Structure 1
Amino acid sequence: MDELDKLKNSWKKEENVYPKFSELDIYAMLHKKSSSEVKWILIISLIEFALWGSFSLLTTLSGADYSQALFLDVIDYLHYVVLVVFIVAFYFNFRKISSQQPVKKLMQNIIRVRRIVKAYVFYMIGMITFGLICGVIMYDDNNPQESNTPVYIVAFVFIPLLVLLIAVVYNSLYGRLLKKLNSNYIELKKIKDQ
């Protein structure tokens, strides 16, 4: 029993060592963390935009006819317009979350960011899948003299695996940030409900 009493006394002494935080302090920390997560989402999307732009500049369409080149150019420009729209949305949401606001408004902004990021991830995975399928079809069109059955068999196996890998990368990268935002949201909800 003496050991238990010593432990209790020790615990009581240590209670005063740990700092006490008010709801306002917790809100400020959650606000700062949320702002940081959205900033990282914005930074990653800007890096990704630069990488896609570099990739687009480095790749050239060799041997494609004019209609294919025009089709790819239109798709490419539309893709960059959509990326810019997402980046602008990330930026404005970062600005909103960075500014001081009531708990309820911060929670609404976190939900909005989560929706936009999920839409962005689905869009990017869809565009990559579309690009891979177009690449196989164009390869087939540009090489009519060859038997392209092996190309379609490889594509049938390769494209889903590559898309799955890309989905895992996107979900691990953006999913980690969204999980942190979600935990901030849950903590803010606790503050709001008290």
Structure 2
Amino acid sequence: MDGLDLLKQHWNKDGDFPKVNKEEIRRMLYKSSSSLAKWIFFVSVIELFLGLAFNAWFFFFSDVEMGRDTDPLWLKIIDQSINVISYVITFYFIYTFFQAYYKIKNTNNTKDLLNDILASRKTVNQYISFNIYLIIISLTIGSISFIIEKHIFDKSTGEMMLYAIFTIIAVSIMGFFIIKLMKFYFRLIYIRLVNKLDKNYDELVQLED
């Protein structure tokens, strides 16, 4: 239980506990919401830099990336285009998270703060959905690359069917566990922060009643 929860629990209840009025509770909720929005922004920035570092390592040191010369030009263009688009969208989300943090930090109006909290929750949910869809697209491109690399379409019908079934099963299993892992990560980090924002939202609504 954090300091804010402790104060709310004992608010004007315990004679030995410092009295806290509504305005002080409101200020603490403002500060708490600002801190939560800041952490959402910071985590997204860290993720971006980790992604850039991984891609740089993958490009310069991985034999897998260097060995994708078998991919046709159209697939390489699609792959690179998705990479560029994904980073553009990621930068957009980071900018949106920063805006949310800035607004929450500088607002003095409860109604505006409530709207900012709702907007932050919506943006986080969109960010999570974007990352999950990006994983699905990446797995699809990887599957196509694998099929082309193995020259599946040059094989007999039986071998082609066998490779296709194997690829679908393998990618489905891998995708299932990756998405489960990502959902766990998002639930551990983002959903936890958003739930705390929601809690602050409910407390602010109660204070305004």
Q: Shorter-chain TM-score category? A: 0.7 to 0.9
Q: Distance in 2 between matches of 1:157 and 1:134?
A: 16
Query: 185, 203, 206: which is aligned to 1:169?
Result: 185
The alpha carbon displacement at 1:80 in A equals: 0.6
Deviations 1:60-85 (A, max 9, x none): 43222322221111111111110011
What amino acid is aligned across from residue 29 of structure 1 in structure 2?
Answer: M
Query: 86, 91, 105: which is aligned to 1:79?
Result: 86
* 1:1-194 equivalences in 2 (<5 Å): 15-60=14-59, 61=65, 62-63=68-69, 64-145=71-152, 147=159, 148=163, 149-193=165-209
Show structure 1 runs of 5+ residues with no match. Answer: 1-13
Residue 176 of structure 1: SS of its match in structure 2?
helix
The alpha carbon displacement at 1:54 in A equals: 1.6
The alpha carbon displacement at 1:123 in A equals: 0.6
TM-score (norm 1): 0.87
Show structure 2 runs of 5+ residues with no match. Answer: 1-12, 60-64
Residue 15 of structure 1: SS of its match in structure 2?
coil
2:97–2:120 CA contact under 8 A, matched in 1: yes
1:38–1:94 CA contact under 8 A, matched in 2: yes
2:79–2:141 CA contact under 8 A, matched in 1: no
Deviations 1:141-172 (A, max 9, x none): 12115752423321122212221221121122
The alpha carbon displacement at 1:137 in A equals: 1.6
Q: Distance in 1 between matches of 2:21 and 2:93?
A: 36
What amino acid is aligned across from residue 52 of structure 1 in structure 2?
Answer: G
What amino acid is aligned across from residue 98 of structure 1 in structure 2?
Answer: K
Higher alpha-carbon deviation: 66-75 or 182-191: 66-75
Q: Distance in 2 between matches of 1:19 and 1:48?
A: 41
What amino acid is aligned across from residue 142 of structure 1 in structure 2?
Answer: E
Aligned residues: CA RMSD: 1.6
Instruction: Quote the sequence identity (%).
Output: 27
1:45–1:87 CA contact under 8 A, matched in 2: yes
What amino acid is aligned across from residue 22 of structure 1 in structure 2?
Answer: N
Larger radius of gyration: 1
Q: Distance in 2 between matches of 1:188 and 1:168?
A: 29
1:132–1:159 CA contact under 8 A, matched in 2: yes
What amino acid is aligned across from residue 46 of structure 1 in structure 2?
Answer: V
The residue number in structure 2 matching 1:11 is none
Q: Distance in 1 between matches of 2:95 and 2:174?
A: 34
